[in-house]
Amino acid sequence: MGRRKSKHRTERRWLTGKSFRLADEVRYIQDRAAKHDGRIVTLGQLVLFSTASGDAWVLDPADHLATQLARDGDPLPVNIQETDTAFTIGWNGHYRIDGAAFVYSDRESGRVITILGYPTHRISQQA
């Protein structure tokens, strides 16, 4: 596991092998969001991030899937099923990055939101 501070005040954390539990990392990133602390955690194919605005998300860059984990510092319910060898996530929608904009399409409501201020460049680098 490595940590590196950046000039953008977002810390990045890499986790490999069986050294992580997804539920633990979700709680970690929700805690960072509650503290309005920007972080990025990469777990294999997944990217979890929190922002200074108190939002947090888990993303699957390969399929552009997204689930919001926290909003304005408040944790949101997340549907995660996890065993020792596998996990599933109840994905709520899809996302895309369009320059500085994070665009999210909610699967259930069909609502599309555009958010500015997320570390979109750094998220794109994780894909």
Rounded distance between C-alpha atoms, residue 78 and residue 57, angstroms: 10
Domain extent for 83:
3-92+119-126
% pLDDT > 70, the chain: 83
The tally of domains found in the chain comes to 1
Answer yes or no: is 87 within a domain.
yes
Per residue in 30-42, pLDDT tens?
999 999 999 999 9
Query: Shortest CA distance to 103 belongs to which of 53, 62, 66?
Result: 66
How many angstroms separate the CA atoms of 97 and 121, rounded?
A: 9
Q: Does the residue 85 lie in any domain?
A: yes
The reply to whether 63 falls in a domain is: yes
Residue 85: pLDDT band with limits 50, 70, 90: confident
Q: How many residues does the chain have?
A: 127
Over 60: is that where the pLDDT of 28 sits? yes
Contact 10, 119 (CB under 8 A): yes
38 domain-assigned: yes
What is the rounded end-to-end Cα distance, in angstroms, of the chain?
19
Domain for residue 48, yes or no?
Answer: yes
Tens digit of each residue's pLDDT (9 = 90 or more) over 90-111: 999 999 999 999 999 999 999 9
53, part of any domain: yes
Kindly state whether residue 42 falls inside one of the protein's structural domains: yes
The pTM of the full predicted model, rounded to 2 decimals, is 0.83
